[in-house]
Each structure stands twice: as structure tokens, then as C-alpha cells.
Amino acid sequence: MRVTLFDYGAGNLHSLAKALATVPGAEVRVQEDPLRALDTDVLVLPGVGAFGAAVARLEPGREAMRAALEQGLPCLGICLGMQLLFEGSDEGEGAGLGYFAGRVKRLAAKRVPEIGWNQVEDERTLAGARLDTVYYAHSFVCRAADASVVTGWTTHEADRFPAAVRRGRVVGVQFHPEKSSTAGVRFVQAFLREVAP
């Protein structure tokens, strides 16, 4: 199973690649070209960087990537990667993939960014990989236009926001599973097992 991390040029992908590689048969590679990144069995949009810079790197392949997701290419979007699955962001210029309807907004809290562990409520993203407490590092959150795609919620101060979204074989999570201890790695493993060809 070919698992491709699309690299938009920010952050250390090592811990995420290591978590993905724990699944037997997973061949993890990093690809900077958005079109070449689609030559894969599973696409992963990692979770470090700024929205504007990331969509600029994504732009040459944005329509092709959106079409591939609509046609069933499995995708896991993490933190910023989840935000790229939405239409746009107040953090920066440019269009996201628009796979999920809605916009990314600044976290409505006094303490921003939210960095650290927090609870996930009503989590039902993947069978057999329930999450309770996960690790966050973010200032922006997705505001889904359709609440039915939300498969888990988190509250920071008084702001309740989607911790996870899912439509078909595309999952987005605002937290960092690769930094969420054993449960987070188990979540990544469950996703890859479910979508494996």
C-alpha cells in the first residue's frame, strides 16, 4: 500500500511518517508535487504550516486533487491538512480543496493557540479506534457548513469546534494523532487498515 505525504514545505514530517509506517505493508513516501502525490493508494495532508503558503503549493494540483478525492482516493488530513479540505481560511489567501463545505476561522478563545491535550466528545470517526484525549497545536478551526460530516467535537474554553470530520474515504482531524500517544497511532493504523486496497 503506497501512502504519500504531500509536503507543502513546512514542518518535520518524521513523526507522522513513522506512525504511518507502523502498518504492515505501508510504503510511506514524501512528495512535494501535488500532481505526483496523487499517484498513490492513500494521500496524507500533514499538519504543520500556514494556510496561505500551503494552498500556494497545492494550487497547481488543486482541481486534480479535489477530483481524486471525489472519485474515492482515501485521504487523511491532519490539523492544517484538515483545514485544506475546506473552502478557505481567514488565516490566509487562496482556496482550499472545498471537499468539505465551510470555512476555517480563528479559535474563539482568550488562550490562542491551543497547545496541549484535550478531550474529544462524541467521537465516531473510525470503528474500533475511539479517541478520548488527543494533542492539539492550533490557532484556527474548521466551521463545517454541514454538521453531519462532524464525527467528533472538542471544546477549548467556550469554543466548541470539530475535532474530526468524515465524508466517504476522506477523514480530517484537527488534532495531531502522531503526537497523541498510543491511541493516536492506533487511530492512524485503523484508518489505513480501513482504506487499504
In this predicted model, what pLDDT tens digit does every residue of 72-119 receive, in sequence order? 999 999 999 999 999 999 999 999 999 999 999 999 999 999 999 999
Full DSSP string of 131-148:
-SEEEEEESEEEEES-GG
178 part of the active site: yes
Q: With a cut of 90, say whether residue 197 has pLDDT above it.
A: no
pLDDT of 11 higher than 80: no
CB-based contacts of 75, cutoff 8 Å, min separation 6: 42, 43, 44, 45, 69, 85, 169, 170, 171
Please pick, among 70, 121, 176, 194, the residue that the annotation labels catalytic.
Answer: 176
pLDDT at 123 > cutoff 80: yes
Every domain of the chain and the residues it spans: 2-195
Domain boundaries 2-195, corresponding CATH code:
3.40.50.880
Three-class secondary structure of residue 85 per DSSP:
coil
Q: Say whether 79 is catalytic.
A: yes
pLDDT at 116: 97
Per-residue pLDDT averaged across 17-37, rounded? 96
Asked whether residue 10 carries a pLDDT value surpassing 80, the answer given is no
Q: How open is the CA angle 35-38-40, to the nearest 5 degrees?
A: 145
CA pair distance 102, 86, nearest whole angstrom:
6
**What percentage of the chain reaches a pLDDT higher than 70?**
99
When pLDDT is averaged across residues 129-150 and rounded to a whole number, the result is 96
Task: Note the pLDDT tens digit of each residue in 153-163.
Answer: 999 999 999 99
Q: Kindly report the average pLDDT of the chain as a whole number.
A: 95
Q: How confident is the model at residue 39 (pLDDT cuts 50, 70, 90)?
A: very high
What value does the mean pLDDT take over residues 159-186?
A: 96
Q: What integer pLDDT is reported at residue 28 of this predicted model?
A: 97
Higher pLDDT among residues 91 and 9, named by residue = 91
From the candidates 63, 138, 178, 194, which is the catalytic residue? 178
From the list 102, 89, 78, the residue with the least C-alpha distance to 171 is 78
pLDDT of residue 66: 98
Q: Which of 79, 114, 123, 138 is catalytic?
A: 79
